[in-house]
Structure 1
């Protein structure tokens, strides 16, 4: 019998199915039947080899198989006891008639092939072999029944009938195998594939070389990677700044060239948390007295710490000095300006804490003008002043802070923090001025200058963003801590209100951005600061206000190029009560205004150049000062 290897295995399985892995009892032929009774009692198949394979695909299904008959007395089928019928595993395979068998009117007729086990009237679903018969009939189609529609599963069969039935099943298996493997690859296909391989051998060799080179480079990167958990990014700003105007009687300062370099190490330990470690160096000058700063040269800065409305966006709030201890900082010295850890604790709740942090780290910038190296060129236009209060954007992580981010819904989130400026200083220093110590911002986590700030961010539509800010601050000295105006230092002006007067501030503000087209957005903010004496020795309060409106343009003239036009009022005292005054002596009060325009050229994905200028009308709220123009040419490198 010629069958392939798969057929051999299938044949063994079929035979086991037929025999049930049970002994075979040889019985004499029974009249009117062609059956073989498979019993559990007296005869067995002994198989030396399950199958043999040769090169000509001629396999022997049962290598050397011997049928051993029992010596027990043959019994007629009709005399089988009920107990014998229960113990035997009867399975009759009908194939074809045997001429040597006795014939009757029923057995002499050809056996009918059945296509469903339901065609056999004497086979019931409750029969123990029903599932096996169903599989042989409906899956393999190798079971035949008598013309009368019966199967006679309890009748014996001859060895000839068994062989005929088995052969019919194996023929059917071979047909199924031939059908399933007819679409396999032919020799002609292999020849064509070989020809294609030879024709494109050069291209395949080039591709193989590129893959090998890529694997080698990947292995080198893995061996020399900086860290498996940390990514490094950086920003380098080099800018030329020139100005004209300022206080009357002064000389225009020279054009200066300044730089600021920042390296950020972003580390994640779980894939959801983030540790930010920021290093920076800059060459802006200023120090305690502001000496050497552009604002001081213009005559528009405060006498202490060079606060002014003429400050650029990428300049630190306290250049050249550590505001915590009033110690000097050399140009381009390395500083740790950021150390902050952010980690989720629930689906909607994220916590953060750090020893060098800024309010802007936690609060999203609603205005599109924010971006110290990419967008607006002035400190005034970048953020709402309430975010900057208490050194909230000092430029070197003035505060130790902790807070949370609560995502109320996709359109609404609430963020809040507590920050302390001198959390690492255990004792207040000795006074260097009346009420002003060597640690002017105080000492301890809860004993010095501190701020509690919150922002509610609301997005009613995909094109509108709204941010509402509140801050409550306590300052050991008489400052706002925004760095936006010379009146920031000595916020309460009046008799007996010197720099050593502690103050309490309540600040409120709102920012909105409306993207009324894909490339144009309207943005603006408003803010108010309510400053009160905190010493209890005097009764004084002052109100500051500020507002800004502007248009931001995306992809102006060329994709990737942005521009902005901004107009607004810098911080200005609008009210004073008690011992407080609206302005220092010899000041001709006038509302200050700020007008700014810039255009950012995207040179490449990593380089941009931004020329721009801003004009100050009545700078520092004093009409005695000349209109001042500050021009900036900023080049930014990112990596």
Structure 2
């Protein structure tokens, strides 16, 4: 075996050459680096197939009759490569965009390869392959990259290309250029690698079959469909209805929700998003017919109270596109205006809701500060401007009842929210902070999709109340921050302030604050632990001549604390189960109300 390798150094060089993933010219477009098999992880079954080349015991050379010692006889003794590797030849004609690592055209001299020097041990072998057989190509940057690793399958593919080249030489009446010992060596190589060639043919055939199936069954060539299904097991463990003063039912429920998102792009940089959904998840915190009679402790992901349960309907339509390299515009006919700014990073990443990642808290309050809560769903426009690598400016205008032509409704004459925000992100991407301002107005007796006339739809009843027949204006101010102290620990927090004006009647003030602790990869990679403590929105003061239902000048008397914990356990890449709890002290900001406590187990399936 040693003698064989010494006499045919170009064969060894040939192996290093093929490391460039199919760079033997005749079919330079073959790039095994782009196939699904080559990109599979080392833990996949492919690692058993793509084993390294091993030395084999030297074999006895076959005796060739003297009267048949010519090139044609030797070539005829070889198994036709077209029978073994025909799928490779078919796929090699596929047009693919080239990058800096793609093969260039045939080189005419080894000196054209910038990283090959006359002092290299393989220089003569390369020179021979270039000048005698024309079977060497380089990368588009003029390099050969002969020090990269090679699999046996890649070598088998390259060997097939070389044989095709030899066949061309012979059929073009230049057979004298091919030495008999070279053909004899190639015959041995073909015999040794015939199992790999056969395996490769099977794998390529399987890929062709899978591609054909995907092409016939794909949803659309331009639209991507993603979805999230939720199954929620929940029950109130303690607490009264703050309106009736009666114990709330301790009923265990099993509920559901489904969300589908269609994303399309027309230019590659824009995005059309259409969201559909429905479900039966009842919010444990809800005014009126709600279980507790207050928004304190309101759960998230619950069904829209203005629609029937499990009514699957359109929830959002949004088109996002870049006006300039640093300016993004979002136009939405139906969406949540406060969340349509489209910042490149979320301010509260471990508690905010996300269709893709699902890292989120159980309650509405743990996901958003008061300053974002007044918007409700509707139509509008948002613009995001990148100032530099650290600062982004966003503005948004949203009208919850923009689709209604009725009096005191519409895009500009009804309820609206105008938001401005500046976001700072540190160069290390581990710290971010935002300053937010919102101006909002609600006409008399207007009702949004959350069922409220005005307010954050979280916290106490008074902070969500208005004077009947009176329009309401508010100016909201908020500051939020997030800090990733380590890969497994992060902290976030906010403080918000709201100044309400009940037109022609008087003023009120509201506040909230919160601190959240997140523990990524807790117990298992991809899992998440969360602990959240805060004061949900409450009315801190009210003018003496304003009555919101509790008496003239009566604001919330006490402070209600919201305490929440959850553990999002990652079962598989697309499956999580999240047990958690919400504990609210002095619900509705009234110390005379007993604490409420309920448990929540959410299972999420993404597809």
Q: Give SS of 2:375's match.
A: helix
Cross-structure match for 1:485 = 459
Q: How does 1:284-299 map to 2 (within 5 A)?
A: 284-285=281-282, 296-298=290-292
CA distance in 2, matches of 1:252, 1:384: 29
Cross-structure match for 1:443 = 409
How far off its partner does 1:604 sit? 0.6
CA distance in 2, matches of 1:638, 1:335: 19
Q: Given the alignment, which residue of 300, 314, 317 partners 2:301?
A: 314
CA contact (8 A) 1:602 1:608 kept: yes
Q: Given the alignment, which residue of 314, 318, 321 partners 1:340?
A: 318
Q: 1:265 to 1:205 in 2, by over 3 A?
A: same
CA distance in 1, matches of 2:438, 2:464: 19
Q: Given the alignment, which residue of 261, 272, 290 partners 2:258?
A: 261
1:475 aligns with 2:437: no
Q: Give SS of 1:556's match.
A: coil
Cross-structure match for 2:353 = 371
CA contact (8 A) 1:242 1:256 kept: yes
How far off its partner does 1:490 sit? 5.0
Cross-structure match for 2:543 = 577
Q: How does 1:27-426 map to 2 (within 5 A)?
A: 180-181=131-132, 186-247=179-240, 248-285=245-282, 296-298=290-292, 300-301=293-294, 308-316=295-303, 319-321=304-306, 329-358=307-336, 359-364=338-343, 365-367=346-348, 368-371=350-353, 373-391=358-376, 398-426=377-405
Q: Given the alignment, which residue of 413, 423, 426 partners 1:460?
A: 426
CA distance in 1, matches of 2:261, 2:128: 65
CA contact (8 A) 1:491 1:531 kept: no
1:560 aligns with 2:526: yes
CA contact (8 A) 1:424 1:444 kept: yes
Q: Given the alignment, which residue of 406, 411, 427 partners 2:406?
A: 427
1:530 aligns with 2:499: yes
How far off its partner does 1:339 sit? 0.1
How far off its partner does 1:297 sit? 2.4
Q: TM-score, normalised by structure 2?
A: 0.65
Q: 1:210 to 1:310 in 2, by over 3 A?
A: same
How far off its partner does 1:477 sit? 4.0
Q: Give SS of 1:457's match.
A: strand
Q: 1:212 to 1:576 in 2, by over 3 A?
A: same
Per-residue CA distance 1:236-292 (angstroms, 9 max, x = gap): 1111111133224314330111211110000000000000001001113589x9676
CA contact (8 A) 2:442 2:473 kept: yes
Q: Which has the larger radius of gyration?
A: 1
Q: Give SS of 2:426's match.
A: strand
How far off its partner does 1:459 sit? 1.3
CA contact (8 A) 2:510 2:540 kept: yes
Cross-structure match for 2:149 = none
How far off its partner does 1:206 sit? 2.4
Cross-structure match for 1:18 = none
CA distance in 1, matches of 2:133, 2:387: 62
Residues 565-574 or 194-203, more deviating: 194-203
CA distance in 2, matches of 1:448, 1:178: 78
Q: Give SS of 2:374's match.
A: helix
CA distance in 1, matches of 2:299, 2:263: 27
CA distance in 2, matches of 1:268, 1:623: 53
How far off its partner does 1:616 sit? 0.3
Give ranges in structure 1 of 5+ residues lacking alignment. Answer: 1-54, 56-175, 302-307, 322-328, 392-397, 429-441
Q: 1:582 to 1:572 in 2, by over 3 A?
A: farther
Per-residue CA distance 1:292-318 (angstroms, 9 max, x = gap): 6xxx223x32xxxxxx122112125xx
Per-residue CA distance 1:414-471 (angstroms, 9 max, x = gap): 111111122222223xxxxxxxxxxxxx322211111111221111342210011111
CA distance in 2, matches of 1:471, 1:481: 12
CA distance in 1, matches of 2:576, 2:128: 68
Q: Given the alignment, which residue of 618, 621, 632 partners 2:586?
A: 618
CA distance in 1, matches of 2:182, 2:454: 83
CA distance in 1, matches of 2:365, 2:390: 28
Q: 1:554 to 1:192 in 2, by over 3 A?
A: same
Q: 1:580 to 1:238 in 2, by over 3 A?
A: same
Q: 1:182 to 1:489 in 2, by over 3 A?
A: closer
- Alpha-carbon RMSD across the aligned residues, in angstroms, is 2.9
How many residue pairs are counted as aligned between the two chains? 419
CA contact (8 A) 1:505 1:531 kept: yes
CA distance in 2, matches of 1:179, 1:351: 55
Q: Give SS of 1:200's match.
A: helix
